[in-house]
Structure 1
Amino acid sequence: MLPDRPGRAPLPGLTHAGGSPAAGSSRGELEPFHSSLILFLGRAWDAVTDPAVGFLISKSPRRRLGKLIPWIVSSTPFGVVFYCLVWSTPSDTMPVSLKFLWYLTMYCFFQTSMSCYHVPYSSLTMFLGGNQRDRDSATAYRMGVEVFSTLVGSGIQGQIVGWYHASMMKSCSVPNGTLYNSTFPGLTDTLENTRKAYVIASVVLGSLYCMACLILFLGVKEQPGPLSPLGKTQLPFFHSLRIILGHLPYVWLLGGFLFMSLAFQIAQGIFAFFCTHAAGLAGRFQHLVLIMLVVASLSIPFWQWFLVRFGKKTAVFVGLSLIIPALIVITLVRHNFLLFVFMVILAGCSMAVLYLLPWSMLPDAVDDFRLKNPNYLNLEAFFYSFYVFFNKFAGGLSLGISTMSLHFAGYRASDCTHNPSVILTLQILMAPVPITLLLIAMAILRFYPIDEERRKQMRVEMEAASNWVKNENPGETKP
């Protein structure tokens, strides 16, 4: 997840965050266009791999270690290697075209490895045993640890990025208001040090990646259920797709998740630019991001209690509403770090809802499908793969919206100060656009049919199905 976080660093060997080449064209550095193209093509490839991996998992047999865990374990070494290679810089003498292909290939391989890890890992929630409340509790723990892991990753890389942005802004002190040119030796040294720092950070994060996989392998056992035997699905791809997208609760949930994810990712994606160029907080945005992630991590237990007490749909509406006043105040205030801290605390509480509630509501939609379609088994990974796909699709769409909007507003990365139209565009992308998307998401989820009454009914039906299977197979033992 870290490469998609706000304030992420550019790929080593590309250009400075400010946009001007760091070491001159003579060294074969990639231009900002190449960086944007790599990210766009990588996300397009990722959009293809998620459903494909989900279908392959659904078609895979159950082995001695299970059906999902072998995918997770086998993909981990590849994910670590390709992640480190993404941050490694080829030789400076390599032509620009080959360097472009290097980064694009490593990025696509990394995204494929992450799909092979994340889709079965997310689907594993359905096979941990227990009742609905146990599963919701496991989802809360999973998302809380996921936010915490994002916080750890941001602590490793985010502080480097913040220092990097601050050093670049110091370069804007020259009289003509632009960055130093590429012959300035200090900038070249900064780039070289940054390259090494990101390689070290990638090795550290890769080690944590392996440790997490080892803990999962040793501590988690798959528990098949009466309506989910963890076998091979016999349906072809497009038939499976038509059945899944024909399930209305899942479609409503997908639509709401898409718009709320798009709203948050647009705001996150431009947060660094907004703080630097519109809010007058250059070099301090990384502290705000860390505060937001800490609050989001600490808020998840509260929202877990809230959804148990008042229901999931109510928790979604209340949680998403919290960020609306925060975005409005952030857009209107300048040079007030303390007020920004209070607003990102409020935004962090709302972000916890985005992390928790959609993933807590998805198992209910899958249960509803399994009860209504008992003959279509073992499609859980396919459900989760499209959920992951829509989340990543929202990330790619948010990147395109932000990039095109700033382009038409006249944004130039090499400028230290920007014209009023760029500032206005940043303000619009920071508040009116996300707020509109959040309202659309809440309107869609208003029609989501699985409320607490339906959840209780499903629990009774699942218990009845389980008892029926036990009576039909009295000699069956639990794996």
Structure 2
Amino acid sequence: MSSSTKQEDQSSSDHIARPNKPRNRLSLCSKLCYAIGGAPYQITGVPLGLFLQVFLLDIAELNASYASIILFAGRVWDAITDPTVGYLVARSPWTRYGQLLPWIVASTPLAVISYFLIWYVPPSFVGGTTGLFLWYLSFCCIFQTLQTCFHVPYTSLTMFITSDQTERDSCTAYRMSVEILSVVIATAIQGQIVRHAACIPIPSSDANSTSMHTVNATLHLDPLPTTSHSLDETKHGYLIAAAVICTIYIICVIVLFFGVSEKKESCHPHTKSFTQAIRMVVGHGPYAKLMCGLVTTSMAYFFLEGNFASFAIYALGFREDFQNMLLLGMISACLTIPFWHWFLTRYGKKTAVYVGIPFGMPFMVLLVLVENNLILTYCLIFAAGVSLAVVLLLPWSMLPDVVDDFKVANPESTGHEAIFYSFYVFFIKFANGISLGISTLALDFAGYVPRGCEQPYKVKMTLKILISVVPIVLILFGLYIFYSYPIDEKRRQRNRKVLLELQESQAKSEMSQGKQVQENQGQDRLETHVPRGSPRISGLGASK
């Protein structure tokens, strides 16, 4: 063999030994386009999480029991569809546009239409209260189903655009920054509408306050006909906000579709049955423990998120400032995402869990204890937003580690990424539905007055418990679960090494198979071009 041939073989073997460095590096443009694709989920989810309860009670004027059923049933239905959509996505074949992107694009048109109709109040003659209940329940379920068809493929896309763990973490940090920015935008759009919602005075005995009439006089409440006119304007404002959000949704999907490309070598359609897939995913120990910890800590912040608007308005008395408080908390989280990304890269993800998540607990307690101090409340919310950044960043940074751990334990199983992500979304949405349902029922039992300028004392105490005691208990329980989570930095690096070895062996196998195919094709061409009448090579020895 000549020296040049040896050098070629050596260079090809070196290329196999280092398959991930040049090919898995993502450009800044690709990371930004991928991150922008996460905005639609947050820019629609934030108004639903923060304002849908207020909208159903105060604007659509449904009773609390109907509103509770809508909030809980919508989330439960959304959660149920996640594993089904994840399984269907995993079985999807490769197309010219990829395996996941077609799901995202196809679900978008109907998703924005159904989202818009959630914020529309039908005329009162259409079925009465029962008709309103069925209207919102139907469109909430329809939108959640279509949103699942968007969100499950999108979250799984991390595993399909690169196989490098560092690049995945980087993409996740970009995505979280954009998602929190979209939360700020959605809060600003929707919050300015709710800020001017009209309220109805209630008797001072119901409010358990001797200064109720003074409060009404200070607010300069108009007679009821003007209040009705203001309600109509508020309904119109909700529709304008929904239209703006739908437009942003569509633009972000277009950017994602044209700015991100899936790697075909990452496409391995799932071949197992639905029940087998459930057993494999849920039965993986690290995944089960991670889900329990994430769901518990996330539910803590769902209680805080879903009740903060009512808490700020009725318990703190900051009706004109609560939307600015929400914005400040989200801005704080957005600004601290780079710090937490550096922290988990430097000290590990489990350390980030134990430092970042409980960081917000003291500020939850102080929010309840502080009254009528606007500046201090702003400071506490800014500090609590630092902890919120960890809750948003860590789940999507830790999920790829669990998927890699599953690959190491089950190297023969392929195409399971979407199933892992869909089950996480299932558990999170189920927890969100539980928190919303419990919160609404608790307020109903406490005597919540729809569109009231003031609320009874029991309602205020219930709100304080829902944003302080309940979240703190859930966070402590979640941290206890995380203690048994087995994937630390050593195991993560070991899994990375094993996966690189598997990729190298697979690349060598594919190259040897390719050489064999080329040799067979060359032999066939050689035999095909032998002139007629010429003796075959195998016949030369016989003639001799």
Q: TM-score, normalised by structure 1?
A: 0.90
Distance 2:214 2:64 in 1: 22
Aligned counterpart for 2:95 among listed residues 63, 67, 78: 63
Q: Is the 8 A contact 1:169 1:282 kept in 2?
A: no
> 1:90-131: CA deviations, max 9, x gaps?
233212233332222222111111000000000001111151
Q: Note closer, same or farther for the CA distance 1:446–1:436 as it changes in structure 2 (3 Å cut).
A: same
State the distance in 2 between where 1:10 and 1:263 align: 20
Provide the residue aligned with 1:155 in structure 2: 188
- Out of 223, 228, 232, the residue aligned to residue 263 of structure 2 is 223
1:197 to 2:237 alignment: yes
Which region of structure 1 is more displaced relative to structure 2, 401-410 or 135-144?
A: 401-410
Q: Retained in 2: the 8 A contact 1:58–1:382?
A: yes
Q: Which residue of 2 aligns with 1:2?
A: 46
**Identity of matched residues, %:** 42
Are 2:158 and 1:121 equivalent residues in the alignment?
no
The equivalent residue for 2:139 is 106
Say which is worse superposed, 49-58 or 392-401, in terms of deviation: 392-401
* Paired amino acid for 2:104: I
Matched AA of 2:253: C
Partner in structure 2 of residue 24 of structure 1: none
Residues 26-71 of structure 1, C-alpha deviation per residue, up to 9 Å, x if partnerless? xxxx444333322222122112111111111112111111110010
Distance 1:7 1:335, change over 3 A: farther
Shift of 1:9: 6.6
TM-score of the superposition, structure 2-length normalised? 0.80
Q: 1:375: Cα distance to partner?
A: 1.7
Distance 2:390 2:482 in 1: 14
Match of 1:16 in 2: 58
Structure 1 residues 69-108: aligned runs within 5 Å: 69-96=101-128, 97-108=130-141
1:174, distance to aligned residue in structure 2 (A): 7.6
Judged with a 3 Å threshold, the aligned counterparts in structure 2 of structure 1 residues 80 and 414 are, in CA distance, closer, same or farther, namely closer
Give the aligned partner of residue 186 of structure 1: 226
Query: What stretches of structure 1 of length at least 5 have no aligned partner?
Result: 22-29
Q: Deviations over 1:149-176 (max 9, x none)?
A: 1111111111211222xx4278889849
Contact 2:46 2:183 in 1 (8 A): yes
SS of the aligned residue for 1:468 comes to helix
8 Å Cα contact 1:177/1:415 also seen in 2:
no
Aligned residue among 57, 66, 77 for 1:34: 66
Q: How does 1:230-309 map to 2 (within 5 A)?
A: 230-309=267-346
> Which amino acid letter does the alignment assign opposite residue 145 of structure 2?
T
How big is the shift at 1:416? 4.4
1:414, distance to aligned residue in structure 2 (A): 6.0
CA shift digits 1:325-344 (9 cap, x unpaired): 11111011101111111111
Q: Separation in 2 of the partners of 1:244 and 1:78?
A: 30
Larger radius of gyration: 2
Deviation, structure 1 residue 406: 2.9
User: 1:388/1:67 Cα in 2 relative to 1: closer, same or farther (>3 Å)?
Assistant: same
Deviation string 1:212-233 (CA, Å, 9 cap, x unpaired) is: 01111101011255xxx42321
Q: Does the C-alpha gap of structure 1 residues 103 and 404 become closer, same or farther in structure 2, counting only changes over 3 Å? A: closer
Counterpart residue number, 1:384: 421
Question: Distance between the aligned counterparts of 1:16 and 1:413, measured in 2?
Answer: 5
Rounded Cα–Cα distance in structure 2 between residues aligned with 1:119 and 1:310: 29
SS of the residue 1:218 aligns to: helix
Structure 2 Cα separation of the partners of residues 3 and 430 of structure 1: 18
SS of alignment partner, residue 261 of structure 2: coil
Q: d(CA) in 1 for partners of 2:200 and 2:180? A: 30
Distance in 2 (alpha carbons) for counterparts of 1:305 and 1:139: 12
Q: Of 244, 250, 253, which aligns to 1:210?
A: 250
Question: Structure 1 residue 409: deviation in Å?
Answer: 3.4
Change (3 A) 1:101 1:7: closer
Cα RMSD after superposing both structures: 2.5
How far apart are residue 303 of structure 1 and its match? 0.4
- Structure 1: distance between partners of 2:114 and 2:258: 24
In the alignment, is residue 168 of structure 1 matched against residue 199 of structure 2? yes
CA offset digits 1:301-335 (Å, max 9, x no partner): 11001111111111111111210111111011101
What's the CA shift string for 1:225-282, capped at 9, x where partnerless? Answer: 5xxx423211111111011111011001100111111100111211122222222322
Letter in 2 for 1:362: L
Alignment of 1:122-137 (within 5 A): 122-137=155-170
Asked if structure 2 preserves the Cα contact closer than 8 Å seen for 1:60 and 1:231, the reply is no
CA distance in 1, matches of 2:450, 2:225: 20
Cα separation, partners in 2 of 1:160 and 1:9, compared to 1, 3 Å: farther
1:7-33 CA-partner distances (Å, limit 9, x unpaired): 44745xx5526x9x4xxxxxxxx4443
For structure 2, the residue ranges without an aligned partner over 5 or more in a row are 1-44, 204-210, 516-544
**Partner AA of 2:98 in structure 1:** G
How do residues 352-431 of structure 1 correspond to structure 2 at under 5 angstroms? 352-413=389-450, 416-431=453-468
Contact kept? 2:91, 2:270, Cα under 8 Å: yes
Distance apart, 1:355 and its partner CA: 0.6
More moved, 420-429 vs 322-331: 420-429
Of 66, 80, 92, the match for 1:48: 80
- Aligned to 1:92, the other structure's residue is in SS state coil
Give 1:316's aligned residue. Answer: 353
Distance in structure 2 (CA, Å) of the matches to 1:384 and 1:34: 31
Distance (whole Å) between structure 2 residues aligned to residue 468 and residue 181 of structure 1: 75
